Structure formats: structure tokens, C-alpha cells
Structure 1
Amino acid sequence: MECHATVTCNQSAYLSLQNLASSLYATGGLGLGSLATIYGFKAISCLAAPVVIRYFATKWTIVVACCTYCVYIAMNFYPAYYTLIPAAVLMGMGSGPLWSSQGTHLTTSAMNLADFTSETHEAVISRFNGVFFMFFLASQIPGNLVSSLVLFSGVNGGTSNETDLSFCGANDCGAAPAANSSGSYTPDQTTVYILFGTLLAWGTLSIPMAAFFMNPLPYYCSILPTKRSAVEQLKATLRLALSPRMFLLIPLIVYNGLELGFAYGDFTKAYISCTQGVQTIGFVMTAYGVAGGISALFLGIISKYTGRLPIFTVGFLSQLVLITMMLFWDPHQGQLWHLYLMAVTWAFGGALRESQIAAFFGVLFPKDQAPAFANFRFWQAIAYTVAFAFSIPDYMCVSYMLRALLGTLCLGMGLYYLLEWRIRHEKPVYKRPVQKETKTEEVQEKQELRNW
């Protein structure tokens, strides 16, 4: 629970700011540029994450990483390339170890619990991930509610603009048109400072929560993998990236990163801010958080009875319908409830892939958790970087990104089905708990020595 509470505070502050970045800093592409920088350096730090976790353990890695998030939020008081970009680099270097630590902490705790119950590792890992990502996606709620309430309170002091809806939706092409046409209201500086101060206070709360209330994993888990040297950890991470199972999952992970980058960048700018104003982003993304939290919890529970395959298939079909709808949506005839429907449907798909892929990784790579989650977050961060970076140029229309999402989704799901087929024709990943396997091997060695 301490891990869940820490992530809720930390991500509530950052995600609400991320949702606003593409609209508040549209001129010159500063908002999307800083986000692309964060996820570009996150990809690099993911490769080194197992080494960081090796020396600092999961708890203190999370504490230090939360500090880097607060530095980035604080630099938004003085938004410029020489302040936001260095802060984005620092946060990116902390983000990879943060998420790799979270995945290792969660999966190891689930496996440890499964050894004392009659449940399988897969069922417990899936349930743990469902609960965790319920908290993660629900962290959209408090931050986004605060952002919209603060921005709405400053409407009278802001600047009103006429909106040209011909540049909204799939017709939005880059930062420049959106900067000229998006939003019926631009908040004044005092309102923005109040918002950033509130988010910074909320994000800072995550640091003492992790430091004083989060249990250090090595003290109570008996199934942690054997410690490796820094070089061995790095080799294990790179070696796992070339494994057949990882190779088949990479396109689906890339789609997961692209669609989340689209939701936080293009959707908030081209669909919400452009048609309803920047002050509406928080309310729509609050619905996104509520739907995502409920979906993650629900999917984590029912996966025990349905398995992965039906859940992934339902998510695949829902995303096909949603992307097609967004591609042909007419902003002139669009209404506010259309945006809420898009957000809720998008949240369902995001919750499905984020929680179930993470659970799938814990099942596929039980003895290489840190390298596995480092690879997961590496490819996801690469996709995030591409999504934000490609939205900056004026000639990159949202319609191009939607078509790219369709292609990546179909490729990723096709290879996922192939992986499921391969797994069903192999021996089960878990014949018995890891701890029991270790004990059995020790007993066999003793028996062989006695026989000798």
C-alpha cells in the first residue's frame, strides 16, 4: 500500500502537468519538447536501472527518483529551454529506475505472497498489478481536478481567443496551428503559479511517504534474485532484449507507449484544448483516470478466471473502433460528451495493456525481473519519445499519428497471438513456486553426495 500511495502522490502532480504541457507551452514546441526529452532519457536510464537497483535497492531508488520529478515540476515556474530541458534530462534519468523498481517491488511481493497461499504466481501477480495500476490511473483524478478548478477560477483574469475548429481533431498539424487556434481561454500568470505551487506540494509529499513508510524489500522477501555485479546486470538486460519472447512483445509495448503519448499530448491539445479550452483538460482527464482505475482493478480480478487472451482481444477491438472514430471525428459537430467517451474508452485500453503487460512480464521472466522491467520501460519510453517528438513539427498532422497507431496495434497484437501460441506449446512457466524449486535442487544435491 505504501508503494501505491507514493505513486499516487507523485503521479498526480506530474500527470496533470503533462496533460497541460502541450497546450500551455505550444509556442515553439517547448511543452512537447520537454516531454520528449524526459522519455528519451528515460529510455537510456532504463538500461542502467538494474544496476541502480542493485546498489540502492527498490525503496531508496524510488525516493531519489521522486526528487527528480519535483525538480522538473518546480522548473515550470520559469518555463524556458534553459530551465525545462535540463530538468527534463534529470527527471528522465530518474524515471527509468523508478518504474523498474516499482515493477520489481510489486512482482517480488506478489511471488512471495503466492508461496504462502494456494494461488498461482500468475494470478497473484495479475491481481497485484491490477490494484497498483488502479492507483496509478486514479492518480489522474486529484491532480486534474485541481488543475481545472484552478484554471476555471482564473477565467475572468485570462485572455479569450477565437477558436478555428478547422485545425482541431485529426486536422491538427503540429504545434503552430494549435498555438494560434487552440483554446478559448489563456490563463493569467498568477493562476498558473497557484496551479504549479499546488502540484509541487502534492508531488513533494511522495518523498517522505516513500522514505518513512515504504518497506525495504530485502527485509521481508525471501525470493529475491541473486545479486549480480553491475556488469552482469547490464549484460542480463541486453541479453534479455534479444530473447525471442521479448522480441515478440516489443511491438505491443511500442504501441502502448505511442497510445499513451498520444493521449497525454495530441488528444489533450488537438481534441480537448482546441475545441473546449485548456481549462477543460483536467475534467476530461479526470474521467480518464476514473475509468482507468476501475478498469485496472476489474481486469486484475477477472483475469484469474478468463486468462490473458480474452482480455487482450477485447482491448484490441475497442482500440480499433476508437482510433477509427477519432480519425473521422468532425470537430464542428462534436460535443463535449464525445470527448468524455473517447477518454473513457482510451483509459480502458490503456489500463488493460499497462496492467496486463506488466503482469505478463512478471510471469515470463520470474528470475530476471529487474532486467525484464528495464526492457519494458525502455521500449515504452522510446515510443513515448517518438509520439511527443513527432507532434512538434508543423507538417505532422494528428491523422498521421492515428494511422501509425492502427498499424502498430495490428502488428503488436499479431505477434502477441503468436507468442501465446508458442507458450501453449511449451512447458508451463511455473510448475511450482520458485522457493520450492530451490529447496528441491538443494535436497537433490545432498542426496547425490550421500549416494557418492
Structure 2
Amino acid sequence: MCLLSSCRPKKDLTGNERRTVFILSIIFVAVFSGFIGIQNLQSTLNNEAGRGVISLSVVYAGFIISSFFAPSFIRVLTAKSCLILGFISHVAYAASNIYAVFWTILPASTFVGLTSGLIWTSQGMFISRCAISFSETQNTPMKDSFGKFHGIFFFGMAFPRLVGNLLSSVILMQGHYNETTTNASDLFTIKLCGADLCPKHTVTEEQFSLPDPLTVKILMTVFVTSSIIGLLLCIFFLPPLTTIVPLSQKGALRNMLSASCSCLRVNTEANLILLVPSALLLSFFESFLWIDISKAYISCPFGVKIVGFSMALQGLFSGISSVVLPALANLISRKYVISLIIIGIITSHVGLLVWTPTNDKLLHMLGFVSLHGILDGGFRTLIFTVVSYMYPDKTDGAFASVATWRAIGYTINIILAYYLCVRTRLYMMFALGALSMVTYVVLEIRLRMKKKISEIVIDEGSESNVDLRDSDQ
């Protein structure tokens, strides 16, 4: 189990909580502007032989493994060192896409996957420790501090989507595009956008307008540069988190095994099990954006040039909702906001089932992308807030567990995208949304009951102390 002394904030964060969160956010903006921009284009630019989708499946398969072992490595290497290692992998991944063939992109994807768990577990620990430190020094409710600091970070995470996707569209619009003629059969195939799109439809069949290779190389070089800037900012400006590292090799091994066991133990707790469907729903909802919406609902009817602008709009609304919805949750109760978000996700899936995008419905598509951003940003921030609230003294194991389940969701959805049509997977996400709604309601009931029991115990303890003082008198 995560040691209390290793999870509580140290003196090095006191008074610097906001500064640390802002620095961390800027670093993630620089690094993930490239990664998110590439990710949203993989299913289109690298559609040949399914290269883009396969590379993403490798990334998130590695994410599963690294998330499980993340607490172990963080305890030995420290959270900052793990972030540095992870950002090096993102530089390599962006560089591999300059010449994107299987023998370059797959090793880089593996490297990113095996370090992604370290990145996101370390990020969760940084934010949680800053929130705990701020709550203790400023004497504010801890759940409010969790919502505030996670909201700040995920508001910052909207900017990688803005920057990365805007760069994609601006640079790709400067390139030359392959224009092909269509015959009667091609015209029939062009209509197979939206929910009717299936993996068997190739780029030629869907008549995507693809940019010339030189333009793509220029875009990837820009992304490499952005990732390098983020790496340097992390090395020189991010303060380290104090951790306890055993001096002996035997002690280090024991500490790593203990950390891995803590991740397993957290996964056996009823509250986390009830949160798993929501974590899976979040990963399915997010990955559906850059696997299917970017391809079936944007590139197919409107062309690849529109992908970046659309994803940037989604990122803008995601960032706004990551601040607004947690603030709203503090006012009217978290359970109502999260429940409404899940209902919104289910409703959006129904809309995607019945709506067929055509090139004269650009505003409809932009409206849906904006809605996706609102639901995505708020849901992600509140899920992390719930995890911080449930496990303030087990941040490494808790965030590693949630990261593992999210990675599992990403991987499953990416693999399914390689075999199943969009419509089939929309039905599956609809069912997952319904399950998430039920389990989340049960989770909130359990948390409320636990809070009431704790309050009763505290009241009884106070009354017994008063009785003892009266008897002494």
C-alpha cells in the first residue's frame, strides 16, 4: 500500500502549489501539442495497411503495461525523472512520423506506450500533492482544492489540442493535394461516411484528399520542435517531488514490489471497481474522437484540411468545461453534474447513429465537435477529482489503476476500430454509457454512506470527550 509519508506533500511544494501546476501545464502543452496533432491524423494520413491505427494500438497496449508498473518506477526514479523519460519518448514518436513506415513508427509507438503510464501517474501525483498542500496551508476543503487544481491543469490541456490541431490545419492547407476523379461506383462509396463507414473502406475508396509528403514532413518537424521545448522546460523548471528511495538494491526491489501490489490492491476495492466503467467510457469517448470522428465524420465528407480546425474547436470547449463544470459541481453537487455528462454522452452516441454527415453540413459537425469538447473536458476533470477525493493517501496506486483502465479502454476501442464498423461500436458505447450511469450512482451512494458513518463516529468521539471532562470535574 502507498505509504502515507510518501503521499503527503513535502515542504518543497508549500507556497509553490499554483506555480508548480502552471509549469506542469505549460510543459504538457508543449509536448502534447505534437502528440495530439499526430494522433488525430493517424487514421487518415497513415491509413495504408492500417498503419496509423496499428501504431495507436501499440501505444495504448504499452500504456496498459506501463500504468501497472508506474508506481514502482516512480518510487525509484522519482516522478520528475519519469516525466523526463516519457517526454523523450514523445520526441522520438514525433520524429518517427517524419518518415512514417512500420519499422520507424512501431518502435517509437512502443517507447511511447511503455512510458505513458509513468507520465500520467506522475501527473496525477503532482496535481494531488499540490492540492493537498494548498488545502492544508490555506485551510480550505480538500475536495474543492482537488477540483480547482485538476481544473487548472486540464484547462491547460485544452491548449495542446488548440495549438497542435491549428498547426495541422494551417500547415496542411499550404500543401498540394492529390485530386482524383471518380466514377459511378466511387460516388456511391463517398456516401459511406459517418456510422456507415467500415474498416474495409480504403483511402482511395473514400476519396480522401491527402497532402503531399513534403508538407507532412514539415508539420512533423514542427511537432518534434515543440516536444523538445517541453522536454527542456521539464528538465530545468519543474520542481521535483520528494520521495523515499531505499539505498540498497534489496530495498529498492522491495519498494518496487510494494508499489505494484498497491496498484493491485486498489483495483480490488469496491469503490474503484464501480468507477472502472466510467474510466472506460471516458477512454472510449476520447478515442472515438481521433479514430472515427476525425475520419468518418470530418475527413470523409469535408477533407483532411478541416480535421485540425475541428479538433482545435473541440479542445477550446474542452478546456472551458474543465474549469466551468468542476466549479458548477462544487455549487450544485458533483453527482448531478457527472450524471448529466454521462447522459449527454449517451445522447451524443444516439445522434451519431442517426446523422449522416455530408459536405453541406459543416456547421452541424462543428456543433457536435463543440458538444464533445464540453462533455470530454468536464468528465475527465471530474473523474480525476473523484479519484483524488477517494484516495488522498494512495495517489500513486490510484492514478496508476485509473490510467491502466483508461489504457485498456483505448486499446480495446482501437483494436475494434480495425475490425468493426462505426455503427457497431456506437451501439457498444451506448451500452457502456448505460452501465457507467448505474455504477456511478451506486458509487456516490457508497461515498455518501461512508461520509455519514465518519461524521457519526466523530460526533460520538466528541461526546465521549465531553462526558470525560464533566466526570473529572
Counterpart of 1:257, as a letter, is: S
> Does the 8 Å contact 2:301/2:359 carry over to 1?
no
Shift in Å, 1:347: 1.1
Match of residue 417, structure 1, among 429, 437, 441: 441
> Does the 8 Å contact 2:190/2:207 carry over to 1?
no
TM superposition score normalised by structure 1: 0.90
Aligned-residue sequence identity (percent) comes to 26
Counterpart of 2:222, as a letter, is: T
For structure 2, the 5+ residue unaligned runs are 1-21, 244-251, 456-473
Provide the C-alpha distance between the structure 2 equivalents of 1:331 and 1:142, rounded to a whole number of angstroms: 26
Shift in Å, 1:298: 1.0
SS at match of 1:342: helix
Q: Is the deviation greater in 30-39 or in 350-359?
A: 350-359
1:168 and 2:193 equivalent? yes
Distance 1:108 1:62, change over 3 A: same
Cross-structure match for 1:204: 228
Shift in Å, 1:137: 2.3
Counterpart of 2:404, as a letter, is: F
1:165-244, aligned counterparts within 5 Å? Answer: 165-174=190-199, 176-182=200-206, 184-218=208-242, 229-244=255-270
> Does the 8 Å contact 2:80/2:238 carry over to 1?
yes
Shift in Å, 1:185: 1.7
SS at match of 1:392: helix
Cross-structure match for 1:440: none
1:51-130, aligned counterparts within 5 Å? Answer: 51-130=72-151
> Does the 8 Å contact 2:302/2:359 carry over to 1?
no
SS at match of 1:160: coil
Q: Is the deviation greater in 319-328 or in 158-167?
A: 158-167
Provide the C-alpha distance between the structure 1 equivalents of 2:358 and 2:308, rounded to a whole number of angstroms: 22
1:148-167, aligned counterparts within 5 Å? Answer: 148-154=169-175, 157-161=176-180, 162=182, 164-167=189-192
Provide the C-alpha distance between the structure 1 equivalents of 2:315 and 2:454, rounded to a whole number of angstroms: 34
Counterpart of 2:195, as a letter, is: A
> Does the 8 Å contact 1:50/1:233 carry over to 2?
yes
SS at match of 1:215: coil
Distance 1:303 1:191, change over 3 A: same
SS at match of 1:139: helix
Provide the C-alpha distance between the structure 1 equivalents of 2:258 and 2:214, rounded to a whole number of angstroms: 51
Over aligned residues, Cα RMSD in angstroms? 1.7
Shift in Å, 1:25: 0.9
> Does the 8 Å contact 1:172/1:270 carry over to 2?
yes
1:293 and 2:319 equivalent? yes
Larger radius of gyration: 2
Cross-structure match for 1:133: 154
CA deviation map 1:38-82 (0-9, x unaligned): 000101000100011101211121111100011111111221222
Counterpart of 1:214, as a letter, is: L
> Does the 8 Å contact 2:342/2:436 carry over to 1?
no
Cross-structure match for 2:345: 319
Shift in Å, 1:364: 0.4
Counterpart of 2:146, as a letter, is: I
Shift in Å, 1:184: 4.4
CA deviation map 1:123-167 (0-9, x unaligned): 10011111111111231001111110111111xx22014564322
1:366 and 2:385 equivalent? no
TM superposition score normalised by structure 2: 0.86
For this pair of structures, how many residues does the alignment match? 419
Provide the C-alpha distance between the structure 2 equivalents of 1:241 and 1:96, rounded to a whole number of angstroms: 16
Shift in Å, 1:178: 4.3
